[in-house]
Amino acid sequence: MKIINCLLDKNNALDINGMSLGKLIEQSGKEFLWSDRECDTIDVIVVHYISAVDVTPADPYNVKTIMKIFCDFSVSSHFLIDRGGVIYRLVPENMKAWHCGGSRMPHPDNRTAVNNFSIGIELMATAISGFTSIQYDSLAKLALLIENKYQRKFKLVGHDMVANEAVVNEGLRKDIKVDPGQYFSWSSLLKRISSLREANVCNSFE
Ligand SMILES: [Zn+2]
């Protein structure tokens, strides 16, 4: 399975309005938009959506604009899946990406600081766009690749499950997250993952 490396670090030459992405990161005083993990076991995948709809409403799925948003807000996720199912790797899986903020896993897990033990995957979508069938395909394949790589089952959660009102009330964060939201079909994703498992597709990262 092809994954395009586009790491959020100072060496990234992707041109964004005449300046490299790496330079943008350096200007923010950082070398990369990730940090060391503070635990050994990674066993959660967090699904998000992201778009540039607030910056360029006429072109919400422009990958460069979205990459710039990560830099502008000093946030990151391990993977980004575009509307055509193309997967970009933005942060190495062994590092901690900054995608969840203050967070707590649903009961009975209850662990906090979900970034520490999770892989963040962003799907290009807006609050109302829904998701494309090929995005579900890529997400399912990627989830299985991650399980195969780490040789364990991962819990799949949405950002909205780990950064909800209860987490705000607890004082772990200020804002409620709603992604991937009501238009994301967990059953579509889980169905695809089961059929891939049944087909015993043992793929690997390129
Ligand atoms: Zn999110």
In a domain, 105, yes or no: yes
Going by pLDDT thresholds of 50, 70 and 90, the confidence category of residue 203 is low
187 alpha carbon – ligand 1 mean position (Å)? 19
In a domain, 137, yes or no: yes
Q: What is the pTM of this model?
A: 0.96
The Cβ-side half-sphere exposure at 91, using a 13 Å CA radius, reads: 30
200 alpha carbon – ligand 1 mean position (Å)? 30
In a domain, 34, yes or no: yes
Token pair recorded at residue 81: 């899946």
- What's the number of domains the chain is made of? 1
In a domain, 125, yes or no: yes
Average pLDDT (15-29) is 94
Residue 182: count of CB within 10 angstroms of its CB: 10
In a domain, 204, yes or no: no
In a domain, 203, yes or no: no
pLDDT digits (tens, 9 = 90+) for 25-46: 999 899 999 999 988 899 999 9
196 alpha carbon – ligand 1 mean position (Å)? 26
Residues with CB under 5 A from ligand 1 (ion): 48, 159, 179
156 alpha carbon – ligand 1 mean position (Å)? 13
124 alpha carbon – ligand 1 mean position (Å)? 11
CATH number of the domain at 49, please: 3.40.80.10
In a domain, 205, yes or no: no
- Give residue 18's domain range: 3-198
